[in-house]
Structure 1
Amino acid sequence: MNDESDELELFRQAVKVDKRVQADTVEPVRAKPASAPVRQRHQQRQQSASVQFSDDYRAHFAEGPVRYVAEGDDPSLARQLRRGQHVPDLILDLHGLTRAQAALELQALIDSCYRQDVSCCSVMHGYGSGVLKQQVPHWLVQHPLVRAFHQAPREFGGDAALLVLVRTKSSESLAL
């Protein structure tokens, strides 16, 4: 029995802990919900979109890649977009949005382009069920700030995206 108690004592000394280990995990910082004024400003921005898109309006597009040039603009804009000569500064990804949400976000994108003096943006509608892919061009045609759009070149999303040229504050001042 004495041998067992000696062995137990040796074991206790061998595994003796000098310092207790404390949990080293850090509690994650919980994001605070947006305050009421922030939520109201966001809602006002979305509601203040300058154009209400009609889901019933149907523009006529030629066969092939989706393309459009506004009346009075240079017809070569579509070719320039197709060739990737315009690089988008803003990109809107509509994946996972409902039709109503996508319409609001598209309006906000165009308004942001105008305010920030961005002439080219990209709208990624994706493939999915094809609802947004079919609807987005019809919405874009309705917006007075849209100069042209074309199915994006492969490096900017291919047939799952559109490159859009938007009128900007500086382009309007040059026209005057």
Structure 2
Amino acid sequence: MDVDSQPTMEETILVGDDLMMGPPSPLIPPEIASHVLEGVDLCDGILRNLFLCLQINDIEPFCQDEIVLYRQCAEKRDKELRQRLQESERKLGLSMPLNEASDRASQLQAEVTSLERRLILASGIEGMEGFRQRWSLHGRLTDTKQRLGSLKDGIENRKKDEPVRVNKANSKRWFFW
């Protein structure tokens, strides 16, 4: 077989839409953001380099290294954030006063229902805009369901002999009865 007749590997050119592989980055609730984000590489330096490359070169084929580096960093970051979110919700379920934990679970369930409805409505939108909306909503829905499951797991796994904690109005202290 002649060397020239061997099949050649085609080069794959990544574009910005290739960053939409897998689920979108999780949304971090403000009340637990400082705890969840602490020590996590947010990939902001790599993203800055990607934008700078795109600004200088104007097209994606010249920024392949930056796209690959950002995608790898974002995947690692998002995995770590999802784990931390679930663990934080579980800890809240274990430690919050029961009535507050139940209220939080109800709020998360309402958010799940709202996202499910919005996802159904987005199914009628065609083209790239429809895809982006469905992609984003599906990711948020999945993350919210996982957070809700972790919170409920924490609530259910409270110690049976743990005293009930009651949070009086306008009081930051917990009372043990």
Same fold (TM > 0.5): no
Structure ranking higher in strand proportion = 1
TM-score (norm 2): 0.22
TM-score (norm 1): 0.22
